[in-house]
Structure 1
Amino acid sequence: MLFYIFVIIVTLPIVEGIGLYWLSAKIGLPGLAAWILGTAFLGAALARRQGMRCWVEMNRRLDGGEQPTDAIMHGLLVLFAGLLLILPGLLTDLLGLLLLIPFVRSLVIRYAFVRFQTYRLRRQAENPGNGMETSNVADTVRDSKSYRAKDDIIDV
């Protein structure tokens, strides 16, 4: 996993630089500056709007007594999308705009949930003894003096 993060950190600026160079050759330097600033402002506005929707949904679920897990995940992905849109580059802009679409976020959440479940099950299968230790109540020895019958309880 650490290797993949390293590869992304190294290759993403190179790919983004090539993409920005290509775009500047097509639309010129003023157009490139407008593109970068426009996507940054658009991303901030859309992320704020979608983030407020996620916040309202999370509060609605909490008020209804439900767990707001999906709303929290959507909120985190909206935050990540806003971050991607603020960064200059074509690939980050495309990924950020895709993550602002609720359907795409739902797919990402479902994929991440399935991956997490398979990872967790695989880890449990590899290390079956690493669970929570439980004690058997029948193995505990009780002293006869510590036992009280129901008749001995006095309500005051």
Structure 2
Amino acid sequence: MSQPLKIAVILAFAALPLLEIGLLIRLGQVIGIWWLAVIVIGTAALGTYVIRQVGISVFERALSRLNTEREGFPPLFDGFLQVLAGLLLIFPGVISDLLGLLLLVPQLRRLVIQTGLLKLVTLFHYQAEVSRETFRAGTAETPAGDDGIVIEGEYERVSERPLHQSKAVQPRRSRS
């Protein structure tokens, strides 16, 4: 990621809470504070309901399918997006509520999974290739007949230490 893009992402994340607060104040002026409170509490309740319904069950199902059928990634990401939607609904704010509601639509989740999963797989594939090349470069330098690294040293068994000073362990033999 380039430096200007990193700065833009950081500024966007810093500006998001300020934008959320500004939109909540403006919406409160337009529809009234009581209706705004009902909306905030209602979306938080909806988010809690979504997280409780989806919760761990989707992840357990996806992991079991992953172990048996090797097709567990889409359900896993679908469950993750549903939990993310619930979290976004819990946070007070117009933008986060809108994003949370959009993530509750199954067709939009499928679209996010298809486009995002493809990018994620290509990123991991690239990382794996780089790691594999680094591994090959590191192993190519070692000679074929070498048995590996040998570390020499001395050791003493703790169980052979005397419990009392009067009892002694036989002295170590010196190497000749």
TM above 0.5: yes
1:29 and 2:33 matched: yes
Which of 125, 133, 138 lines up with 2:136 in the alignment? 133
SS of the aligned residue for 2:85 comes to helix
> 1:152: which partner in 2?
none
Q: 1:92 is matched with which residue: 84, 90, 96?
A: 96
The answer (yes or no) to whether the contact 1:43–1:97 under 8 Å persists in 2 is no
Picking from 99, 102, 106, the partner of 1:102 is 106
Count of aligned pairs between the two proteins: 138
The sequence identity of aligned pairs, in percent, is 31
Where do residues 1-156 of structure 1 align in structure 2 (5 Å cutoff)?
Answer: 2-51=6-55, 54-55=58-59, 57-58=61-62, 61-62=65-66, 64-119=68-123, 130-133=133-136
Structure number with the bigger relative contact order (C-alpha 8 A, sep ≥ 6) is 1
Query: Matched residues in 2 for 1:102 and 1:47: separation?
Result: 15
**Range moving further from structure 2, 23-32 or 54-63:** 54-63
Q: In structure 2, do the counterparts of structure 1 residues 79 and 5 end up closer, same or farther at CA, with 3 Å as the change threshold?
A: farther
Runs of 4 or more above 6 Å deviation? 121-125
Contact 2:66/2:73 (8 A) holds in 1: no
Q: Write the letter of the residue equivalent to 1:79.
A: V
CA 1:113/1:27 → structure 2, altered by over 3 Å: closer, same or farther? same
Per-residue deviation at 1:64? 4.3
Determine the C-alpha separation between the residues in 2 that align with 1:129 and 1:77. Answer: 31
Partner residue of 1:154?
none
Name the Cα RMSD after superposition: 3.3
Higher Rg of the two aligned structures: 2
1:61 Cα deviation (Å)?
Answer: 1.9
CA change 1:129–1:53 in 2 (3 A) is closer
Could you report, residue by residue, the CA deviation over 1:38-77 in whole angstroms, capped at 9, with x for unpaired residues? 1000111123224466246426625744342122212221
2:72 corresponds to which letter in structure 1?
P
Structure 2: stretches of 5+ with no match in the other structure: 146-176
How high is the TM-score relative to the length of structure 1?
Answer: 0.69
| Paired AA for residue 25 in structure 2 | Y
